[in-house]
Structure 1
């Protein structure tokens, strides 16, 4: 069961990486015009998708393997409080803050955390690759020039 969970995580991360880099390559080749709203939605959706995906993975691991997978106080005894705890843990992991109040204990949970860290770095790399588009959007164009004084 542990191997299936990790294979699912790994396949999802690989699919995500291929999808993101394919989108970047298409953008570069086709020279598509991006708008600020589209860029912000893509980056926000990627980050939100990562956090939600790993929240579900961590909760599933905890439900299957219990205290042997994650250690921490106040993780919760019901599903809702566990989801909130692992949402918090996933956000802290994504942001690379790592408060330490919840920690992975076994190899399965540690490998899942490593995959989220890789996932988050790819998301940040995607966001950084879009900086050239941000710069293009905010650079002055012919319409932004001030009229010459007489």
Structure 2
């Protein structure tokens, strides 16, 4: 009995000219490789993310009170590894014994991109109206029978 030859894996796109480009030209969209991944459920990272989304910012004391966890920095480290952009702010505090200290307060870095909210911005509407008038005027001069 003859044995079959082992199959060789041949890529379908041999050159970069045949592959799909990885960047997107659409504003406001991230590539799937850049989008953050959700942490596993029932983990400290998932609890920290839920609190960050709910509260806006989070420090160790709040994490201890709300989630019962002592290691917020470790959870933030996991979230950053999953692609979440989290900013750290060092906040001065006074300890119970009167000494000064600094704690870390974390918050999600949410890009402040303009977004469509159902209405068009007035300055953009003005530019679009001007462009429409200029285009209509140029078209009427080029095709007099159309006007």
Give the alignment's TM-score, normalised by structure 1: 0.23
Which structure would you say has the larger RCO, counting Cα contacts within 8 Å and 6 or more residues apart? 1
More helix by share: 1
Give the alignment's TM-score, normalised by structure 2: 0.23
More strand by share: 2
Name the larger-Rg structure: 2
